[in-house]
């Protein structure tokens, strides 16, 4: 296991009715609240009304219309509103897109230059407005981490940035708020949670046994509960387990002490940069193809371990056969969850594969991945996804 510093400063308010704590949480930071949200799902399912009801003593300025795969233009507009209205705290109500956008708005509010600088170079992030979140989809882990991913449609870039100053101060996780999710978002969110774990499970560092056991537990939780949530959207047990899995998958628990770059996320970020697709759908398509591509004498033991400990296959002598069973099970799971498992089904052909492959390698250090990847490898993996 490598050395690491683990931080988890976000106060997590988990469970039914935890929104009652919102006034006491926000009071600490001031009266002027930017209420940030997306395309309106919170108005349809009643969360918006509930927020206004509990915040009757606060001065609320609304900032709506944050799009999935949030854009830098939206960040710029949000920061301007924060400056004009002397905002004290941002309340992000939604999923990863709303939370990520709010984090960078919070940073851009105090930054003299253009907000895109903060995405390109995280060292430029200084002071950040306090961020409080109300999570409505189990997926990214943004509710408990310091990262944010922002798109620039003008340059076809979708890049991650991070700062310890962007950790949410507090997050409210009420599983009932996820009851209204469209089925595809439940599935895509679960695929994202699983990918965050898988990216860290398959790393070069050996001997991080505990992290691997936590990872296997999170994966098994997703495998058990996503189908239940799809069948019974109001099943509290399923929704609560998925919601906590979202936060634990990407708060450092699984990744700390393990070295190396991720593989599937850098590839997916190019797909959503060029085609604006749903992040989790892209990951579900890429992950099993990437697994097949990197399966070799060097990696087979880890894949066999994955097949046994995550998918509960019996041990057998033929390690490759076992590894393939685990990979097949991964692909079948996503398919059974209703995710379209080919890029063609999303209207993506081979036109931009080369461009995206070069960009993936340029944006991330894929040489340092579990199995090093160059642009040709990324191209081959994307080709398998068509």
Binding site for ligand NZQ (CB under 6 A): 38-42, 45, 68-69, 94-98, 100, 136-137, 139-142, 145, 147-149, 177-178, 180-181, 185, 189, 192, 250, 265, 279-280
Distance CA(94)–CA(214), nearest Å, equals: 27
Per CB under 5 A, the segment of 64-72, 142-150, 189-197, 219-227 that binds Zn ion is 189-197
Binds 149, which of Zn ion, ligand NZQ, none (CB < 5 to 8 A, cut-off by type)?
Answer: ligand NZQ
Mode of pairing for the β-strands spanning 89-94 and 147-152: unpaired
Mode of pairing for the β-strands spanning 147-152 and 157-162: antiparallel
Nearer CB in complex with ligand NZQ: 229/322: 229
Q: What is the DSSP string of 235-275?
A: -HHHHHHHHHHHHHHTSSTTTTT--SB-SHHHHHHHHHHHH
Is residue 143 a contact point for Zn ion (CB under 5 A)? no
Binds 240, which of ligand NZQ, Zn ion, none (CB < 5 to 8 A, cut-off by type)?
Answer: none
| Beta-carbon-side half-sphere exposure of residue 39 (alpha carbons within 13 Å) | 5
Is residue 377 a contact point for Zn ion (CB under 5 A)? no
Binds 148, which of ligand NZQ, Zn ion, none (CB < 5 to 8 A, cut-off by type)?
Answer: ligand NZQ
CB of 195 to Zn ion, least distance (A): 6
Task: List the one residue from 100, 143, 157, 192 that touches Zn ion (CB under 5 A).
Answer: 192
Binds 185, which of ligand NZQ, Zn ion, none (CB < 5 to 8 A, cut-off by type)?
Answer: ligand NZQ
Distance CA(148)–CA(150), nearest Å, equals: 7
Nearer CB in complex with ligand NZQ: 40/207: 40
Distance CA(133)–CA(170), nearest Å, equals: 6
Is residue 174 a contact point for Zn ion (CB under 5 A)? no
Nearer CB in complex with ligand NZQ: 68/78: 68
CB of 44 to ligand NZQ, least distance (A): 7
Binds 98, which of Zn ion, ligand NZQ, none (CB < 5 to 8 A, cut-off by type)?
Answer: ligand NZQ
Distance CA(321)–CA(20), nearest Å, equals: 52
Binds 288, which of ligand NZQ, Zn ion, none (CB < 5 to 8 A, cut-off by type)?
Answer: none
Residues 175 and 285 sit within 8 Å (Cβ to Cβ): no
Q: What residues pair up with 61 in beta bridges, in sequence order?
A: 34
Binds 32, which of Zn ion, ligand NZQ, none (CB < 5 to 8 A, cut-off by type)?
Answer: none
Q: What is the DSSP string of 49-86?
A: HHHHHHTTTSEEEEE--PPSS-BHHHHHHHHHHHHHTT
CB of 342 to ligand NZQ, least distance (A): 20
Residues 223 and 333 sit within 8 Å (Cβ to Cβ): yes
Nearer CB in complex with ligand NZQ: 12/304: 12
CB of 330 to Zn ion, least distance (A): 16
Per CB under 5 A, the segment of 13-21, 163-171, 192-200, 201-209 that binds Zn ion is 192-200
Structure tokens, 227: 């189908």
Nearer CB in complex with Zn ion: 75/286: 286
Distance CA(254)–CA(285), nearest Å, equals: 22
User: Among candidates 333, 141, 337, which has minimal Cα distance to 243?
Assistant: 141
CB of 149 to ligand NZQ, least distance (A): 4
Q: What is the DSSP string of 281-317?
A: HHHHHHHHHHHHHH-STTTHHHHHHHHHHTT-PPP-S
Nearer CB in complex with ligand NZQ: 138/309: 138
Nearer CB in complex with ligand NZQ: 74/140: 140
Structure tokens, 69: 């795969």
Which positions lie near Zn ion, rule CB under 5 A?
Answer: 192
């Amino acid at each position: 296991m490598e050395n690491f510093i683990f931080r988890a400063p976000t106060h997590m308010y988990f469970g039914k009715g935890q929104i009652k704590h919102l006034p006491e949480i926000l009071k600490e930071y001031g009266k002027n609240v930017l209420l940030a949200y997306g395309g309106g799902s919170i108005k349809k399912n009643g969360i918006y009304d509930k927020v206004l009801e509990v915040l009757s003593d606060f001065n609320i300025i609304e900032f709506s219309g944050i799009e999935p795969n949030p854009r830098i233009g939206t960040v710029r507009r949000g920061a301007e509103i924060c400056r004009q209205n002397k905002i004290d705290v941002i309340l992000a109500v939604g999923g990863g897109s709303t939370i990520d956008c709010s984090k960078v708005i919070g940073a851009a509010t105090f930054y003299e230059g253009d907000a895109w600088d903060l995405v390109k170079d995280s060292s430029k992030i200084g002071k950040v407005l306090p961020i409080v979140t109300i999570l409505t989809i189990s997926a990214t882990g943004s509710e408990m981490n310091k990262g944010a991913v922002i798109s620039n449609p003008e340059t076809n870039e979708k890049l991650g940035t991070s700062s310890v100053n962007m950790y949410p101060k507090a997050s409210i996780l009420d599983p009932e708020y996820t009851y209204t999710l469209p089925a595809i978002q439940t599935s895509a969110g679960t695929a994202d949670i699983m990918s965050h774990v898988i990216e860290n499970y398959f790393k070069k560092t050996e001997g991080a046994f505990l992290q691997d056991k936590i990872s296997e537990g999170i994966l098994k939780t997703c495998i058990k509960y996503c189908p239940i949530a799809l069948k019974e959207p109001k099943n509290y047990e399923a929704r609560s387990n998925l919601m906590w899995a979202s936060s634990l998958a990407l708060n450092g628990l699984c990744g700390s002490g393990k070295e190396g770059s991720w593989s599937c996320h850098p590839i997916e970020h190019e797909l959503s940069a060029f085609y604006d697709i749903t992040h989790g759908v892209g990951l579900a398509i890429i992950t099993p193809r990437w697994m097949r591509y990197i399966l070799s004498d060097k990696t087979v033991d880890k894949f066999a371990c994955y097949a046994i400990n995550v998918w509960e296959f019996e041990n057998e002598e033929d390690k490759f056969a076992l590894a393939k069973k685990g990979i097949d099970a991964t692909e079948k799971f996503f398919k059974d969850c209703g995710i379209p498992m080919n890029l063609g089904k999303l209207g993506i052909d081979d036109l931009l594969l080369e461009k995206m492959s070069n960009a993936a390698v340029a944006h991330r250090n894929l040489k340092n991945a579990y199995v090093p990847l160059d642009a040709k490898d990324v191209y081959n993996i994307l080709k398998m996804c068509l």
